[in-house]
Structure 1
Amino acid sequence: MKFVCEAAARPACTGAPGCAETLPCEPESVRRARSLITSALNVWVIEELVDAATLIVDELLTNTIEHTHCRTARVTVRRLTEDRVRIGVSDACPGLPLMESPGKDAENGRGLLLVDALSERWGYDRHRAWKAVWAELRLRAGRPGSEGRRKHGMGKQPPPPPPPAPKPSGPRPGPDREPIPATC
């Protein structure tokens, strides 16, 4: 599968299909990040993930903008499998994400709670000079393009997938070893 980032200004293809763009850590960049994610998901014909994916990239990039002193952040979107997409935001600042429980009257502090609720799993990868905070989304079974689709004619349906395991909350380290440096 070849991937083309049609609407992105200067994105870079990241391999097995994916797209990335380095953006300034400014509030105006959040709109550009949402556009990058939307474009990739539209090209892959998995529009059903657009709403959740754009909210996730919005929260991850906003956290980088508000809680680091980095000048730039790298936004990535990768299709890991037919039914799984990973959205990531990388920066070169050492602080790690922390999910908090804000008070009921707090105006901020719910970003990672939202990421946790919308994603199948999320976490971060720590590297010597940078970190990547990521979230993974999965297509629902039974949708064309997901593992639950019909196989090879004859009208036979595959067996239903096993029920999902309970989702632990909080960040989980992941296997992402692809270097995505950003400058601070």
Structure 2
Amino acid sequence: MVETGTGTLPAYTETLPRIPESARAARRLVHLALNVWGLNGLQDAAEVVISELLTNAVLHARRESVRVTVTRLSHERARVAVVDMSKKQPDLRPAGSEEESGRGLAIVDALSGGRWGVESLTWGKRVWAELGPREGEPGE
């Protein structure tokens, strides 16, 4: 459960080693949570988003672990997030056609409909993305 200013939201969370292989465990956590909540229509996009967020943390954060969280926001929306120990903010930038990396946040932005952000924490940051119907679209 995650405490908010308006109450408690259901959530799944797991601390994982800050290594590339943790992307699989992060995707599994997201898949499980969304399945339990009946949000199966979000699974594919959410698994890609959490993989991109975790990969950014693996490449750019410090310390040996990260925290992955999946929170149910409503009957049709969920938030995925990665917390790491780096205060360096991620940068959404266009990647050149010759670059082999640098497209992760553009993918997150596209799959979340621009509903993503960064929360600064005392000792690091939380990068999150919300998934669900876009504005004006009917729910599931």
State whether TM-score is above 0.5.
Answer: yes
In the other structure, the counterpart of 1:70 is 63
Map Cα deviations across residues 112-167 of structure 1 (whole Å, 9 max, x no partner): 00000000300010021121000001145252xxxxxxxxxxxxxxxxxxxxxxxx
Structure 2 counterpart SS, 1:66 = helix
Corresponding residue for 1:104?
A: 97
Give CA deviations for 1:6-53 in whole Å, capped at 9, x if unaligned: xxxxxxx54521110000001111000000000000001111100100
Q: Which residue of 2 aligns with 1:39?
A: 32
Residue 57 (1) aligns with residue 54 (2): no
**2 CA distance for matches of 1:103 and 1:142?**
35
Paired residue for 2:122? 128
The residue identity in structure 1 corresponding to 2:138 is A
Alignment correspondent of 2:86: 93
Aligned-partner SS, 1:94: coil
The alpha-carbon deviation at position 105 of structure 1 amounts to 1.2
Question: Runs in 1 of length 4+ with deviation above 3 angstroms?
Answer: none
Total equivalences in the alignment = 131
Cα distance in 2 between the residues matched to 1:135 and 1:35: 17
Structure 1 residues not aligned, in runs of 5+:
1-12, 144-184
Q: Larger strand proportion, structure 1 or 2? A: 2
Letter in 2 for 1:122: W
Residue 104 of structure 1: SS of its match in structure 2?
A: coil
Change (3 A) 1:142 1:85: closer
Establish whether residue 141 from structure 1 lines up as the match of residue 135 from structure 2. no
The structure richer in helix per residue is: 2
Q: TM-score w.r.t. structure 1 length?
A: 0.68
In structure 2, the gaps of 5 or more residues are 3-7
Q: Is the 8 A contact 2:13 2:67 kept in 1?
A: yes
TM-score by length of 2: 0.88
Higher relative contact order (CA 8 A, sep 6+): 2
